[in-house]
Structures are given as C-alpha cells and as structure tokens.
A and B are shown apart, each in its own frame.
Chain A
Amino acid sequence: EDQVTQSPEALRLQEGESSSLNCSYTVSGLRGLFWYRQDPGKGPEFLFTLYSAGEEKEKERLKATLTKKESFLHITAPKPEDSATYLCAAYGNQFYFGTGTSLTVIP
C-alpha cells in the first residue's frame, strides 16, 4: 500500500536550535518527493521537489534531502516565523501526503 509517514508529529525548538524532520515513504513508481509548508487556515505552500536519491535542495534556512526510502527537511537556526506545519508528499500515480510535522519555534 502506498503511504507516507512523517515524524515527529510535533516539534518545539528554541530560536536558533537546528533540527530535522523525517518523511518515510513507500510509493510505487515514485516520480517526485515534495515538501510543503502550511500555515493555519491556509493552503499548503510549495517548498521543494526532489526527484532522485542523493539530491539536495536549499532555501534560506531549509534544506531537503532524499534517499530511496526517506526524505529529511533540515532546519538550520530556525526563527519564530518558521513556525508552521510541514507536509511531505510522494508523487506516484497520485499525490500521497503525510500527516505533517507541526513546528513551533520559541523566541
């Protein structure tokens, strides 16, 4: 069965305290691994697409990496404005989303 699992469900960090979010996937014929950010009451906002194992992409304090079974979203020196839910989605014959990691960055 195609599925995506994210961990942890929730994460509280002090401002400046780096950490990583995990996304494990089992999706047949993976065509891409996507990361989105979602603020309360809003639609998901696109962050990254990764296509092959070993690929890395960066944007400001965020870096996404991909292996054959997992993806990580690394957050370096986070700020309070990085607080949001981060969703991972694996694209096979359709998009399969995880349940997200709710990140809170405390000043």
Chain B
Amino acid sequence: DAGVTQSPTHLIKTRGQHVTLRCSPISGHKSVSWYQQVLGQGPQFIFQYYEKEERGRGNFPDRFSARQFPNYSSELNVNALLLGDSALYLCASSLVQGGDEKLFFGSGTQLSVL
C-alpha cells in the first residue's frame, strides 16, 4: 500500500512569492494534518482537516491556509513568503478511528526561501 505522498520534494522560492504544497493521504485515511519542521526542531502543528472541514489550527499567521478535497488529498498554501518560512513541511494522515489518532507522515517538502 502506498504511504503518504507529498509533492514537490524540494522547492526554492524568493521572498514575497506564493507556494502550494500537495499531499495525498494513505488510502482510507480521512484526516490530513500539516506540520512545519525547522532544522533542529520538532514538527509544529499548522492545520488539521477531517472530511474536508478544518478541525484544528496551530499558531501560524493568516498567510498560511489549507484545504482538503473530496478525495481527501490536501493542499497547503503560503502567501508572501518570508525567509523564516524555510523549513521541511510535513503532511500526516490518520484514520481517526476509536480515538486512536496515530499519525503517518510523508517524507516532506523541503522549502527554501531566498
């Protein structure tokens, strides 16, 4: 079975630009979460979507937005990029079954903002 897939794997942008990152969850998983991981730090929660509805939002500015599609895939959009947005962006999917919300992560998109 395919795991969580993310695209692109690497991306280089300049300050002020916009970026869209994509994620396909494991088949059968209805929840997708996005995390930002700065080098040397743990992942920081950005968003969670379940059945196309936003279920949670972390402490990130409004420049960050996301959505989930009917096939449960998801996009993360970041506007007006700043140097500090350079990070590994991780997508995770989960079953959300019986209260056990075990996260399965993709390999991430490495975003560099110059």
Q: Which residues of A contact B (CB under 8 A)?
A: 4, 6, 31-32, 34, 36, 41-46, 49, 87, 89, 91, 93-100
Closest B residue to A4 by beta carbon equals B42
Residues of B within 8 A of A97 (CB): 35, 42-44
Given contacts A94-B56, A94-B58, is CB(A46)–CB(B45) below 8 Å?
no
Q: Is B99 an interface residue (CB 8 A)?
A: yes
Residues of A within 8 A of B101 (CB): 31-32, 91
Cβ-defined contact, A44 with B100, below 8 A: no
Q: Is B25 an interface residue (CB 8 A)?
A: no
Cβ-defined contact, A44 with B107, below 8 A: no
Q: Most chain-A Cβ atoms within 10 A of its Cβ — which of B43, B58, B108? A: B43
Total residues of chain B contacting the partner, CB 8 A: 25
Given contacts A94-B45, A99-B40, A99-B42, is CB(A45)–CB(B102) below 8 Å?
no
Interface of A is mostly: strand
Give the shortest distance, in Å, between B15 (CB) and chain A (any CB): 24
Give the shortest distance, in Å, between A102 (CB) and chain B (any CB): 9
Give the shortest distance, in Å, between A48 (CB) and chain B (any CB): 10
Residues of A within 8 A of B44 (CB): 97
Cβ-defined contact, B100 with A32, below 8 A: yes
Q: Is B49 an interface residue (CB 8 A)?
A: no
Residues of A within 8 A of B105 (CB): 36, 43-45
